[in-house]
Every structure is written in C-alpha cells, then in structure tokens.
Amino acid sequence: MTLSIDDPEAVEVARELAATTGGTVADAIVTALRERLERERHTRRPCVGERLRHLARETQAIPVLDDRHPEQMLGCDGTGLPS
C-alpha cells in the first residue's frame, strides 16, 4: 500500500524528525503515529466494561451505615406489611 502525503508541512516535519532521529521518513511517521495512537487510547473515554468496573469499585467502597434488612428499615414484617 502506498501512502501519499500532499501536505508540504507534513512532509517537512517528517523529514526533520527523520533527520533528528537518524532514521528514515517512514520510521519517523510510523513512530509518530504509534505514539499518538497510544496517547489517544489513554485519553479517550474508557469502554463500558471499564466504566462498570470503576463504578463497582466505587460502590463497594461506600461504607454500610445500616446493616438491617430493607424491610426492617421500612418497618415491615416478613410478609411485607407494616409491623
């Protein structure tokens, strides 16, 4: 696959980076793209699974203030009626 870059500034920056690092223009482009992709992956919104895991950790960290059964808190008996 061939990649054509029509932006003169992009070509100039790629050549300057290659000259600075002692590599090829292709190496400079690949390295820059990989580094940018890695940064983007870390700054983007986490996936649903990660958000759920984070929410679960936060929820588990909340202290139990009243360990009674919910029906007891509401004043209900075992049948769900007020006691």
pTM attached to this predicted model: 0.51
CA–CA dist 15, 24 (Å, integer): 8
pLDDT on residue 36: 95
Q: Between residues 13 and 48, which one has the greater pLDDT?
A: 13
CA–CA dist 5, 11 (Å, integer): 7
Contacts of 55 (CB under 8 A, 6+ apart): none
User: 23-77: per-residue pLDDT in tens?
Assistant: 999 999 999 999 999 998 887 777 888 889 999 999 999 999 999 988 888 888 7
pLDDT on residue 59: 95
Asked if pLDDT for residue 3 goes beyond 90, the answer is: no
